[in-house]
Structure 1
Amino acid sequence: MSNTLVTGLRERVPTLTSVPLPRAVDNKVLNKTWPAEPFAEPPAGSGLKPVLGDFGAPFVGHSLEYMRYGLDFGLRRYERYGPVSWSGMLGERMVTLVGPDAAQQVLANGDKAFSQEGWHFFIDRFFHRGLMLLDFDEHKFHRRIMQQAFTRPRMAGYADHVAAAVRAGMSDWPTGQRLRMYWQLKRLTLDIAARVFMDAPPGGQTERLNRAFVDTVRGSTAVVRYPVPFGRWSAGLRGRRLLERYFTESLPAKRASDGSDLFTALCHATTEDSERFDDADVVNHMIFLMMAAHDTSTITSTAALYYLGKHPEWQERVRQESLALGDDLPDLAALESLHSLDLVIKESLRLMAPVPSLPRKAVKDVDILGHYVPAGSFVGLSPMVTHFLPEYWSHPMRFDPERFAEHRREDKSHRFAWVPFGGGAHKCIGMQFGMIEVKALLHEMLRTYRWKLPEKYQTRWDYVALPMPVDGLPVQLHTISGNAT
């Protein structure tokens, strides 16, 4: 089967949890309740409450409801059980936490009660020893070295490469026909990551690497977590092996290079104490960073494109800012000057958190908002639901970028009200790069195209892995006269 055909099938064949069902069936599944049970009995005399919840269906628990209904499922659980509950997910019992207070306890992690081992169950086989999976002193050591690849001068160089890659990548996008914009953007962000992170041109080897990254991400939430033929788990393991071979074989040349790409930067990154990464560290970090860089940017730019298509008044407002920059490729300072676009991106991150759940593992018995959670428990903080709590966000279902403007700053209602990038010691190290990439993508789209979505159109998101629109977000682009490149 040709690579083009395989790619086309992936883009068009829905996952089982996204297959259309009659609304009555969806409502019945979503509204089904299971008897509440305590997660664990609190120690006598502790004064703590048990965490209430339910496992759901045998073996799979509530995995399928989460994958299909996402936010709706999370809000239903919150309404029934409150900010601390538990449910069955992929055969495991997981405590779910909602709200800024819980987020502060987990992300600040002042008593070191939570480890990143919560991620291991989902992604360690595919993103082994990526920065996000490391803990405490070891994480601090690796982050200190990696920070050398994300300095201000480095970011300025990355921004130049991103802007050039975006303009080149969009130059042949067809107009006058419906494009599945999620997949258009995904291919482009993968090409950008390959260019900026590896100094690799599009096509050929890059296409193989791109498919491997897609397979590893989707493998992380496979319900059948064994290497059965044609399964997502097997495909993810194959993808990991391909990526390891590529980066390992490329290491000697990158060690000897003085290039400006991230791969070279990690090979040479050194702290003032002469600490640096060994070869295995560089390979593991590159595989993780490539995944993190393109997936979150794809999701955020897709969400922003969707909301700008639904709200043409905002599309025109941010377009005027972009047109005011002229036709030159934007540098870092120019991208940072796009203030209205910054508001749109932040609101898109609130409405569609690219990482809906942040898993942790309790390394000791812990009191979470007065509830007893024993050592060894899987814990998942939910930015997805936290971003919709009306106590912190006015009209939370409404697209309202002005909520992030200086005269309102609803994100400052609590230090951890807005957590799309996590927080604390594990706050996303590539947060600034991600914002630059999304701004560059949207800036180029705004100065080149117009688009509009039908008033009654509502995209539905698939949560089988990271969020993606079930239909790929079909959009028809129209070239702006005089600004096509």
Structure 2
Amino acid sequence: MTSAVGRVAEALRERVPPLTAIPLPRKVDERWLGASWPVRELAAPPAGSGLKPVLGDDGPPVVGHALEMMRFGLDFSLRRYEQYGPVSWLGGFGRRIVSLSGPEATQIALVNKDKAFSQEGWKFFIENFFERGLMLLDFGEHHLHRRIMQQAFTRERLTGYVGQMGPALREGVRSWPAGTSPRLYPALKQLTLDVATRVFMDMDADADAAKINRAFVSSVRAGTAIVRAPVPGGRWAAGLRGRRVLERYFGENLPAKRRADGDDLFAALCHATTEDGDRFSDVDIVNHMIFLMMAAHDTTTITSSAMAYYLAKHPEWQERARAESLALGDDVPDIAALDGLETLDLVMKEALRLVAPVPSMARKTTKDTEVLGHYLPAGTLVGVSPTLNHFSPEHWTDPHAFDPERFAEPRREDKSHRFAWMPFGGGAHKCIGLQFGGLEVKALMHEMLRVYRWSVPEAYTARWDYVSLPVPADGLPMRLEYR
């Protein structure tokens, strides 16, 4: 046995969070996940530090484990945890990436008390397409930009956004054909894009909106391109073109938004001012709008798709949620009414646990540091994974089961650890739009419940594709019937 392999065995004998006991939820292709690669140290710890090296492997030549991560998602992550524990590294996208999994490891990176982890990790994946978005800023600069942006997400502003999105969602949902089995994910994606252009930019769903929407989709998909160069016809090149389209659109429309104080998010950012008089520059607004549009519509689509799927698989929960929605009457619900849809709130939280819309969060170490006794040198690319936290048997009862009641009193399993449930991240970079996103998802599902009953065959199981963010690989075919 080599010394490296021996250290793996020793590390796995030590106590790690009991995610190692999680069974894989379904049969996976052993030709991919069962392959054995030479185990190596990321870097030797400083002499006398008492720290352990981070162990891992490069995976297949050139691509590393990138294709496996995209293909198998949760299954791949669980297998890596079984093999290496909460701190390990892997090859992917031409780099070595340290993976931090489980509540204890993720808390260290996201709370970031000694500022050892920066947002520089995101730049490797998405800076070319979402330059200087809020998620890519660090420390004092991030704090300042977040304070300004918070003015666009006050309760008063959220109330206005809900008033705009409600009619758009009602109109869009009613346009779907009942008595058919459409692929629900594309329909939801188009609807959330239309709502985003309406609420964020006060823009109707026309040819220009379609062009803007295509640009956003191209920019998002480019972040996980294997070929990270502008090769004609490739995703990277399409993402760069999309970014140019978005910059041009927001730049051309910004002066008018500065002059008029509208109710849309674009206008809100143009006029957002802190009590100290801090405001965004024109360049800041363009960068933040491009980032916020991406963050809003993708996560909303994934969450609503997961909710629709689980409500189809569990019709008793669909009927329970429908009863609450019908009790509101025929008016488009305001923000208070949406807050009162308790069953949808439970279902949404469980869907976010089972299908985290952002399964990994990138960081980069600013200096030599350690996580759970493992040495990470400065300049290390890090992936912080909330996914495994959501399936820890130490924190969740029967974690692979759909059980929204786990979020209700008195159980509140999400309170078992500060980072047991973290679909919105944590620490200083916790998602600023989480309330907006939750309101939009509940408003969308409310309209679906009012108009349709939907179902899937009993034997059907959705498979989530992780090429960029988790989406149903088959588009989520769903039987829609008028209720």
Aligned counterpart, 1:68: 71
Q: In structure 2, what is the equivalent of residue 339 of structure 1? A: 342
How do 1:8-23 and structure 2 match up within 5 A? none
Q: How far is 1:35 from its partner?
A: 2.0
Which residue number corresponds to residue 54 of structure 1?
57
1:369-448 → structure 2 map (5 Å cutoff): 369-448=372-451
1:298: which partner in 2?
A: 301
- Give, in whole Å, the separation in 2 of the partners of 1:71 and 1:413: 21
Tell me the distance in 1 between the aligned counterparts of 2:351 and 2:54.
Answer: 32
Give the structure 1 partner of residue 219 of structure 2.
216
**Partner secondary structure for residue 88 of structure 2:** strand
Map 1:154-169; keep pairs closer than 5 Å: 154-169=157-172
Q: Which amino acid is 2:370 matched to?
A: D
**CA distances 1:394-448 after superposition (whole Å, capped 9, x unpaired):** 1110000011001101110001111100011100000000000000010110111
In 2: Cα distance, 1:168 partner to 1:33 partner: 53
Counterpart residue type for residue 317 of structure 2: W
- Say whether residues 1:114 and 2:117 are aligned partners: yes
Which residue of 2 is the match for residue 151 of structure 1? 154
Cα-to-partner distance string for 1:84-117 (whole Å, 9 max, x where unaligned): 0100111110000111111211111111110000
Shift of 1:375: 0.6
Give the equivalent residue in structure 1 for 2:463. 460
Give the RMSD, CA atoms, in angstroms. 1.0
Pairing 1:164-179 to 2, within 5 Å after superposition: 164-179=167-182
Give 3-state SS (helix, strand or coil) of 2:82's partner: helix
Equivalent position of 1:139 in the other structure: 142
1:356 matched to 2:345? The reply is no
Amino acid at match of 1:93: R
Q: Which residue of 1 aligns with 2:10?
A: none
Amino acid at match of 1:290: M
Contact 2:56 2:84 in 1 (8 A): yes
Q: What amino acid is the match of 2:279?
A: R
Within the alignment, does 1:129 sit opposite 2:132 as a pair? Answer: yes
* Residue 272, structure 1, aligned to residue 275, structure 2: yes
AA aligned to 1:63 is: A
**Per-residue CA shift, 1:181-217, capped at 9, x if unaligned?**
1100000000011000000001210000000000000
Amino acid at match of 1:45: G
- 1:227 equivalent to 2:233? Answer no
Distance of 2:282 and 2:100 partners within structure 1:
37
- Shift of residue 27 of structure 1? 2.5
- C-alpha separation between the residues in 2 aligned to 1:27 and 1:103? 28
Change (3 A) 1:401 1:44: same
Structure 1 residues without counterparts, runs of 5 or longer:
1-22, 481-485
Aligned residue type for 2:240: L
Preserved contact between residue 224 and residue 468 of structure 2 (Cα < 8 Å): yes
How far did residue 25 of structure 1 move? 8.7
Instruction: Give the TM-score, by structure 2 length.
Output: 0.94
Residue of structure 1 aligned with 2:481, choices 470, 478, 481? 478
Q: Residue type matched to 1:259 in 2?
A: G
Q: Which residue of 1 aligns with 2:314?
A: 311
> What letter matches 1:184 in structure 2?
A
Structure 2 counterpart of 1:315, which letter? Answer: Q
CA distance in structure 1 between the aligned counterparts of 2:57 and 2:389, rounded to whole angstroms: 21
**How far, CA to CA, are the matches of 2:106 and 2:337 in structure 1?**
33
Partner of 2:245: 242
Look up the match of 1:204. Answer: 207
Q: Aligned partners of 2:195 and 2:113: how far apart in 1?
A: 37
For 2:53, give the aligned amino acid.
P
> 2:28 & 2:354 partners in 1: Cα distance?
26
Cα distance, 1:390 vs structure 2: 0.9
Runs of 4+ in 1 over 6 A off after TM superposition: none
Distance, in Å, in 1 between the alignment partners of 2:373 and 2:153 is 39
Distance 1:100 1:82 in 2: 12
Match of 1:98 in 2: 101
- Compared CA separation, residues 56 and 332, structure 1 to 2 (3 A): same
**Residues in 2 aligned to 1:312 and 1:385: alpha-carbon distance in whole angstroms:** 27
Q: Once the two structures are superposed, what CA deviation does each residue of 1:52-97 show, in whole Å capped at 9, x if it has no partner?
A: 1101011111000000000000000001100001001111100001
For residues 72 and 352 of structure 2, the distance between their equivalents in structure 1, rounded to whole angstroms, comes to 18
Q: 1:119, CA displacement in angstroms?
A: 0.3
Provide Cα deviations, 1:437-460, integer angstroms capped at 9, x if missing partner. 000010110111001111110111
Query: In the alignment, which residue of structure 2 is the partner of 1:260?
Result: 263
**1:192 corresponds to which residue?**
195
Once the two structures are superposed, residues 296-339 of structure 1 have per-residue CA deviations (whole angstroms, 9 ceiling, x without a partner) of 00000000100000001111111111111111000000000011
> Contact 2:28–2:75 (CA<8 Å) still a contact in 1?
no
**Partner of residue 38, structure 2:** 35
Q: Which amino acid aligns with 1:410?
A: E
Shift of 1:24: 9.3
Distance 2:366 2:33 in 1: 33
CA contact (8 A) 2:389 2:419 kept: no
CA pair 309-50 structure 1, distance change in 2 beyond 3 A: same
Paired-residue identity, %:
67
Question: Using a 3 Å threshold, how does the CA distance of structure 1 residues 24 and 156 change in structure 2: closer, same or farther?
Answer: closer
427-436 or 154-163: which moved more?
154-163
Aligned to 1:324: 327
Residue 29 of structure 1: CA displacement?
A: 1.3
1:282 aligns to what?
285
What's the offset of the Cα at 1:389?
1.1
Check conservation: 2:201, 2:264, Cα contact below 8 A: yes
The DSSP-based 3-state class of the residue aligned with 1:178 is coil
Give the Cα–Cα distance (whole angstroms) in 1 for the partners of residues 430 and 360 of structure 2.
Answer: 14
Q: Measure how far apart 1:26 and its partner are.
A: 2.3
